[in-house]
Amino acid sequence: MSWPEPPDWLRLEVEPRRLARGGTVTVAFDAPHDRIAEYPRELGLACLAHHAGRFKTGEVGNPGGRFRVDRQDVVCADWRLLDDAEGEFEFTVPGEGPYSYEGDVVSFYWGVWLRAEARVLDREAYVAVVVDP
């Protein structure tokens, strides 16, 4: 799975990049004010569940066809509105939340995301974080 790198105009510092459930990650950011004022953006710590390999039959236009459907869902998230051009946020991984895992059928990816406000899967930037069990 490929993830977008932070854009050139945004500086993101994420520490630590590996932590246990219940741990805290600090995210420092710096961006030109005009980019933040351009349209609302949110910065957050989120876990994406990727469900792969589900097969369906009866595709439109091909009643006997069989095709694979992948699905992505955000299962944990903490979003903060960027209303300043620089600052720092602390995010806590839920103690009972999923840990990082890459499997054949389901995978869990944690990361710090920059997104257009309330557009969950439209990631403008992504910094991977590994959450241990």
* Assigned domain for 6 exists: no
Say which residue, 124 or 128, is predicted with more confidence.
Answer: 128
The tens digit of pLDDT for each residue in 99-118 reads 999 998 899 999 998 888 76
Q: What is the pLDDT of residues 6-29, one digit of tens each?
A: 778 888 899 999 999 999 999 999
When pLDDT is averaged across residues 38-49 and rounded to a whole number, the result is 88
The string of DSSP codes covering the chain is ---PPPPTT-EEEEE-SEEETT-EEEEEEE--HHHHHHS-EEEEEEEEEEEEEEEEEEETTEEEEEEEEEEEEEEEEEEEE--SSEEEEEEE--TTS---EE-SSEEEEEEEEEEETT-TT-EEEEEEEEEE-
Dump pLDDT digits (tens) for 49-104.
988 866 666 655 565 666 666 788 889 999 999 888 789 999 999 999 999 999 98
Mean pLDDT of 44-49: 94
Report if residue 68 sits inside a domain.
yes
Residue 85 lies in a domain: yes
83 in a domain, yes or no? Answer: yes
Angle at 118 between CA 112 and CA 123, to 5 degrees: 40
4 lies in some domain: no
Domain that holds residue 127: 11-132
pTM: 0.79
Q: Give the residue with greater pLDDT, 31 vs 94.
A: 94
At position 72, the amino acid (one-letter code) is: Q
Residue 63, domain CATH: 2.60.40.840
Query: Would you say residue 1 lies in a domain?
Result: no
What total of structural domains would you count in the chain?
A: 1
Cis peptide before 4 (omega within 30 of 0): no
Residue 32 lies in a domain: yes
